[in-house]
Structure 1
Amino acid sequence: MITAKIFNIENRTVEIYACTEQDKPVIYFNNYDKSGRSVYRALKEITDKDFSLVVIGNLNWDGDMTPYAIPPISPNDTPCSGEADEYLRILTEKIIPASEEHIQGKPEWRAITGYSLAGLFAIYSLYKTDIFSRAASMSGSLWYPDFKEYIFNHELKRMPDYIYFSLGNKESKTRNPYLKTVQENTEQIECYYAQKNIHTVFELNEGNHFKDCALRSAKGIKWILEN
């Protein structure tokens, strides 16, 4: 039976799937859905590595996960308010310390991970804090206006050991002028990091943005766990 320690901090829900072993990696996963159970279950089915998974939900998705404000990218969309810096402060100053009180020993290393806009946030956070040594951006929203240029013109807070990227092979097949850039941008960003001698990979999955989200998330976390 899968059990998790669950509590709230600053209106965000924190679920901790804690490893019983001492001093193992801790994976932080920002989640759109209310429960991280499906991601944890998928992970346990594909890797035998020991780790703790901390899933943060009930996020202000278009605010917490976005680095700066942009207007709607389509007629039926909502604007993104660009509150990632404030959320990252809550994450690093409140959520992470509280979470690690429930984890055995000290983290061997920490990773920041996420799907969609949370994949964008995972990469952005590497430019704002040095507490993460690995990252995984699954179907990350790297189409975000000017974000590729932000990466190319700013310095990482620390050189991460591993970064994982993935997309669905249909995600860029759209008329939306922003979304259609996602694969080209992701490939260029992955190449940029590889040239800095960061261990990277870009994986192309079958399907659109919404296919097999939990499994794709688990595959990305598995890669950074097993390398």
Structure 2
Amino acid sequence: MKGTFLYDELSGRQLDIYLPPHPTTLIPAVIVQDGSSLFHQHILSLEKMIECGTILPVVLIGVHPFNRLDEYTPWEAPALHSSFPAFKGEADTYLTFLIEQLMPYLVQHYSIQPDHGQHALIGASLGGLVSMYALWKELSLFQHVGSLSGSFWYPHFMPYVREHNLLAVPQRIYLSVGSEEGKGKSSAQQYMVPFTKELHHILHDSGISENHLHLHIEQGEGHHISQFQQNFVSALKWFYGVK
């Protein structure tokens, strides 16, 4: 590895950070949910793409949640199963942390420019849910948003996006889902694929053209980390690919 992988902490929260070789103040930040779980297996291949000029240099910031069931959910909801706790719905507080604490900290301590115009927010599963929810919270700082197998089954989320207008319109949105996700489920998770397709239509109907909106259905794949990781790489190519 020619770049640097390091650990930092902010307000008691662990940050996993990758800095590319020779960073400048013009490098965009990619804020990633669930720490480095989406990118640590692909650091070398991502670095090679940067070196070859396939994608622009980026700083990856993996943000560890205190409790993903709470911080990645937009409002309170009962648990899907009696063996799990209920969702507390603390996404608004978490997103405020990203804007008011994390980004200023990154600007001060790393090679991040606040008004770069190419920063990204991305996550998988519930992390994909909170990343997409940000579009309805006027977080215009993030010009690229990625949701990998986003948990759009979450109670009342689809009615919410049907009834409310986007408050932030990013440059590019990347959606992905495995074709087998939700199969065999009796809960709302059975609607993973149709809800992802519907959200794609909602975003398109809101005025986001196909040049700025990408939906990838991973054929034969279910809801698992290796699929998320591969689509994370694809999302970065979509956001930062060099033509």
TM over 0.5: yes
1:139 counterpart = 2:149? yes
In structure 2, the partner of 1:110 is 119
2:236 to 206, 221, 226: 221
1:209 counterpart = 2:223? yes
Q: 1:151 to 1:22 in 2, by over 3 A?
A: same
Rounded Cα–Cα distance in structure 2 between residues aligned with 1:57 and 1:149? 29
In structure 2, the partner of 1:72 is 79
Contact 2:75–2:88 at 8 Å: present in 1 too?
A: yes
Rounded Cα–Cα distance in structure 1 between residues aligned with 2:112 and 2:189? 41
Q: Deviations over 1:78-117 (max 9, x none)?
A: 3211011111111111111111220154534211100110
Moved more, 151-160 or 121-130: 151-160
2:33 aligned partner, one-letter code: N
Contact 1:42–1:215 at 8 Å: present in 2 too?
A: no
1:60 counterpart = 2:70? no
Calculate the TM-score normalised by the size of structure 1: 0.89
**Residue identity (%):** 25
Q: Deviations over 1:182-216 (max 9, x none)?
A: 11111011111112232211111132111513222
1:86 counterpart = 2:65? no
Moved more, 130-139 or 193-202: 193-202
1:31 aligned partner, one-letter code: D
1:28 counterpart = 2:31? yes
Q: Deviations over 1:5-60 (max 9, x none)?
A: 42111221112223413413221111166685225445335543222211111431
Rounded Cα–Cα distance in structure 2 between residues aligned with 1:18 and 1:26? 10
CA RMSD of aligned residues (A): 2.2
- Structure 1's unaligned 5+ residue stretches are none
Rounded Cα–Cα distance in structure 2 between residues aligned with 1:71 and 1:39? 35
Rounded Cα–Cα distance in structure 2 between residues aligned with 1:155 and 1:145? 19
In structure 2, the partner of 1:38 is 41
Rounded Cα–Cα distance in structure 2 between residues aligned with 1:142 and 1:98? 31
Runs of 4+ in 1 over 4 A off after TM superposition: 32-36
1:50 counterpart = 2:57? yes
In structure 1, the partner of 2:13 is 12
2:41 aligned partner, one-letter code: S
In structure 2, the partner of 1:200 is 213
Moved more, 34-43 or 96-105: 34-43
Rounded Cα–Cα distance in structure 2 between residues aligned with 1:35 and 1:185? 22
Rounded Cα–Cα distance in structure 2 between residues aligned with 1:95 and 1:185? 31
Calculate the TM-score normalised by the size of structure 2: 0.84
1:217 aligned partner, one-letter code: F
Rounded Cα–Cα distance in structure 1 between residues aligned with 2:122 and 2:87? 20
Rounded Cα–Cα distance in structure 1 between residues aligned with 2:205 and 2:224? 30
